[in-house]
Amino acid sequence: MNRVYLDYNATAPLRPEARAAIAAAFDAPGNPSSIHAEGRAARAILEAARREVGELAGAAPRGIVFTSGGTEAANLALNPEIGGRAPLPRLILSAGEHVCMLAGHRFAPSAVSVAPLRSDGRIDLAALEESLADGGGPALLALQGANNETGVVQPVAEAAALVHAAGGLVVCDAVQLAGRTPLDAQSLGADFLILSAHKFGGPKGVGALIAAREGLSAGLPLLRGGGQERGARAGTENVAGIAGFGAAAKSVRRDVAAEAARLSALRDRLEAAILEAAPEAVIFGAGALRLANTTAFAVPGIAAATMLMRLDLAGVAASSGSACSSGKVTRSHVLAAMGVAPEIAAGAIRLSLGWASSKADVERFGEAFASTVTALRARRGAA
């Protein structure tokens, strides 16, 4: 059976360009820290990828620190010393942040506060401004560019303007933005960006923390040892993985606007199919700007675990939210922060499209979803 993959926000399939770059890098035997010809060849691969990732993010290559993924980048970034200046006394997290941001910081618990979300999934800027003015000193704000569960795009530039006016800095988890919308570190407004290669067709296990401008540093390193990554992250670099990261970045940058338009049309078809089969379905974040590739919904009375198992048996891969927690099928903290009733949130399903998604995938989903809803309604009626 040909399966339909609708879980790109968890991981995108590897792009052919990335696969080729990884294979080629495996043939480079040198350590990029060595000064001989083989070492210089490995270093050249590394720096070429750094330039491509910089082009994707609209940032200077020198400000890029390669990591093992978005989680490590978050743990590296969220420390009081970030920015290379006087320590920041506090951290503000938006209530919808990924768990790696919520749990991965290095601030004392007493120094951390949470900025609430509005019902449409966007950060409450008025509440943020009030928090910044409460006399607690300059803050580091952690704010996603777009939510991994709902696809809701956050007003990063507006939030950054408030934080900067109060003397603070902003770390933006741009993992879901990269490759899905044009990305420019300067216009985004954040001081640091986090990327993860496998979200847009690069390999798993490689990411980056990116300084948006000269003079900013990550501060206290997590991994100490050699002087790799300009002293920000010790350990021999994952040359093959980084090569794939760079190749995927180059590939998505070529046609990101056209791809966003294509995915938006497919997403609209997905939502039409959902509402045709279940007019009572709730689309989360529908009133806000969302990523073109993402829809999150629930059908009242149908549990997420039941729906996912039925869809999987029908050949459709979907999820109930973040890949880091959906295996537990617990209530989404994002939906809770949006004020979604527990009985509705319990049915939350996320569908996410990507570079290999097609109209045929959407049609197959529509058929599988309609038959699943019909079967579950019949079972519920019989009970």
Helix 16-26 × helix 239-254 angle, to 10°: 150
Q: Which of 260, 324, 336, 344 is catalytic?
A: 324
The candidate with the shortest Cα–Cα distance to 202, out of 382, 22, 383, 2, is: 22
Judge whether 65 and 218 are in contact, CB under 8 Å. Answer: yes
Q: Do β-strands 139-144 and 192-196 pair in parallel, antiparallel, or remain unpaired?
A: unpaired
Judge whether 123 and 159 are in contact, CB under 8 Å. Answer: yes
Distances (CA, A) of 51 to 58, 59, 72, 73, 210: 10, 9, 21, 18, 12
Which strand (E) or helix (H) includes residue 162? Answer: helix 156-165
Other beta carbons within 10 Å of 8: 26
Other beta carbons within 10 Å of 271: 16
Q: Do β-strands 64-67 and 207-211 pair in parallel, antiparallel, or remain unpaired?
A: antiparallel
In the annotation, is 324 catalytic?
A: yes
Which strand (E) or helix (H) includes residue 65? Answer: strand 64-67
90 forms beta bridges with 139
The candidate with the shortest Cα–Cα distance to 284, out of 330, 210, 339, is: 339
Dist CA 93 CA 141 (whole Å): 6
Tokens 């790799």, located at residue: 228
Residues with active-site annotation: 324
